[in-house]
Amino acid sequence: MGITVSKLDELATTDVTSALALVTQLVQEKNPDLDVRRGVLHDLVLYFSAILAAAKDTEIARVRSSMSLKAINADPTLADTDLVDAVLSNFRVTRKVGAKATGQITIVLDKLLPTTIVAGARFTTLGQVFITERAFAARTDAAFVVSTDDVVIAEVGAGTYSFTISVIAENTGASDTVLRGTAFAVAIPPAHLSRAFAAADFVQGTSIETNQEFIARFESGIAAKTWSNRSTITALIIDQAQFEDIVGTSIVGMGDAEMFRDQHSLLPISYGGRTDVYVRSQALPLSTTKTVTATLVATVENGGVWQFSVARDDVPGFYEVARVALASAAATDTGYEVTTTTRSFDISGTGFKPDIETAQEAAFSSFQTATVQFLDTNTSTAALTINQSTQSYSVTFRGMPLISEIQEFLDSRSVRNPAGDVLVRGAVPCFLTVNFSLRKRSGAADPNVNAIRLAVAAAVNKLEFPGELHASLISDAIQDNLDSSVAIAKIDLLGRILRPDGTKRIIRDNDVLDIPDEPALGVSGRTVAFLLDPQNIGITIETVDAPTVI
């Protein structure tokens, strides 16, 4: 809310009444002979003087509510944003201004011909609009390229051709996650358009920080940026420009049940000196696609089992393989089933390394390695040789970004705890699926399900390491996007926890989803983050015929 009262009817009735009583009293004291109880003097002069006085008092109160930390914390919604910015700048904390989501879209044509995508072209998916900031000229041959805005059309196969362009969200703010392969509708389709889809995961947009969110980060601004305690370590990390937008950290150390790296001894005691930093670097995991060479390791009735290895620097700290497909397959193809993922670790090389003895300890860190097997049901194995035949595949991994970069920063000699080591790990993931019903009265308009999905996902994904997820949080996010003719029913929360040892645990509830306390497996409220992809939110709309009562 701004400092200035823009409309007189937004004033509180009690404030106007009090101001009127005071003005009346002052005038009466100045001239006892005036009749201030009724008439023109009361209804026009005194009454409107009181309204203007109440407006000034309200503005003064708002200024006061914006100029002290105590008042801002008491009710951030009443504080003026400019004044809050000024107050918190004294503690080296600045408001996040938000950003637009960006990404690349692949355009597929059913005929090879030069194509132009104009500046401002609109592409829509999941209720969101993305536009081109400049014109793109798709050329049929590299020899025809004349500017940096020219792209070359490539042959895809089966009589289709493609090129890729860059787009940006029309509006600033948080948005649904657009994953690789997501289909787009084109407002003005070019000639011979076959389809348009996301070439890779989009970079998510962020909303302008509210006063409440800004104040919540205040502690990190006043904390010393040093290796001292949990607050100062977090402040040290987010003080770096490349890490300032991470969602949250959870620091596990000596005395925590989840810390078992400091028990590497013949004696069952903790020696200390070890720190595990669990990081939720962004709202949702990032998808990374790489081309790998896989080896045939077995044949089965419906295909062949192929295997490839993931070195520690290939995709640092990845959670899981989301998709394996032939390198020639389209981005929208589902791919093949991953049968096993065997994790290991690699701490070879020069420089200081954390004390790691097991694959579980290294899981989701930059020292993690893996061997992955999958079943290819399309490639004939009749003429192939086990353990010798190889083939290229396109593999999509999912994991938290910046794990390697944060590890490198905290492991540097000038930053590292001189009394021990540090291991940076991605937050243990609990992949969520949320389903609920919306009951609307007959004849009422359908609610905006895309806006609801965005609101629910945003509410969940801004959590750091809460330990539990309440259905009421989901309900509040939904309700903000409904009118009185629609009600919420049957909220179902389902979580899939991927443990560091590679096993999975399913949790489900309609009220509160609690993270199980399994510290020996690296699972607890201190290590697990809830991850909700908007596309994993199921909404059922039910129409209810209200009884006639008149």
Tokens of 331: 């981005």
Instruction: Measure CA 419 to chain center.
Output: 35
Instruction: Based on the fold, state whether residues 19 and 42 are members of the same structural domain.
Output: yes
Instruction: Measure CA 447 to chain center.
Output: 23
Angle between helix 47-66 and 81-89 (nearest 10): 30
pLDDT, greater one: 266 or 392: 392
| Cα 402 to Cα 163: distance, rounded to the nearest angstrom | 29
The per-residue pLDDT for 1 is 44
Q: Picking from 16-30, 385-399, 443-457, 466-480, which range would have the lowest pLDDT averaged per residue?
A: 16-30
pLDDT, greater one: 13 or 123: 123
Residue 261 belongs to some domain of the structure: no
Listed residue (448, 465, 450) closest to 534, CA to CA: 450
Instruction: Based on the fold, state whether residues 345 and 386 are members of the same structural domain.
Output: yes
Residues composing the chain: 550
Instruction: Based on the fold, state whether residues 194 and 108 are members of the same structural domain.
Output: yes
| Cα 93 to Cα 319: distance, rounded to the nearest angstrom | 33
The per-residue pLDDT for 443 is 81
Q: Picking from 86-90, 237-241, 381-385, 517-521, which range would have the lowest pLDDT averaged per residue?
A: 86-90
How do residues 509-528 score in pLDDT, each as one tens digit? 999 999 999 999 999 999 99
Query: Which residue is associated with the tokens 């209720």?
Result: 127
Q: Picking from 115-119, 196-200, 206-210, which range would have the lowest pLDDT averaged per residue?
A: 206-210
| Cα 100 to Cα 206: distance, rounded to the nearest angstrom | 7
Report the predicted TM-score, pTM, of the whole model to 2 decimal places: 0.80
Instruction: Based on the fold, state whether residues 394 and 530 are members of the same structural domain.
Output: no
Task: Calculate the average pLDDT of the chain.
Answer: 89
Instruction: Based on the fold, state whether residues 172 and 218 are members of the same structural domain.
Output: no
Listed residue (541, 432, 430) closest to 490, CA to CA: 541
Listed residue (60, 30, 62) closest to 46, CA to CA: 30
Tokens of 216: 């919540």
Residue 15 belongs to some domain of the structure: yes
Helix (H, G, I), strand (E, B) or coil at 406: helix
The per-residue pLDDT for 3 is 64
Range(s) of the domain holding residue 27: 8-66
| Cα 101 to Cα 387: distance, rounded to the nearest angstrom | 44
Q: Assign 3-class secondary structure to 173-228.
A: CCCCCCCCCCECEECCCCCCEEEEEECCCCECCECCCCHHHHHHCHHHHHCCCCCC
Q: How many domains does the chain have?
A: 5
What are the strands of the beta sheet with 390-399, ordered from one edge? 320-326, 390-399, 286-300, 303-310, 368-376, 337-345
Confidence of residue 408 (pLDDT cuts 50, 70, 90): very high
Instruction: Based on the fold, state whether residues 51 and 142 are members of the same structural domain.
Output: no
Residue 419 belongs to some domain of the structure: no
The per-residue pLDDT for 465 is 96
Residue 406 belongs to some domain of the structure: no
Instruction: Based on the fold, state whether residues 36 and 143 are members of the same structural domain.
Output: no
Helix (H, G, I), strand (E, B) or coil at 65: helix
For every residue of 14-59, DSSP letters joined together read HHHHHHHHHHHHHHHHH-TTS--SSHHIIIIIIHHHHHHHHHHHHH
How do residues 417-473 score in pLDDT, each as one tens digit? 888 899 999 999 999 999 999 999 888 888 999 889 989 998 999 899 999 999 999
How do residues 529-546 score in pLDDT, each as one tens digit? 999 998 899 999 999 886
Instruction: Based on the fold, state whether residues 23 and 55 are members of the same structural domain.
Output: yes
The per-residue pLDDT for 530 is 98
Listed residue (312, 310, 321) closest to 288, CA to CA: 321
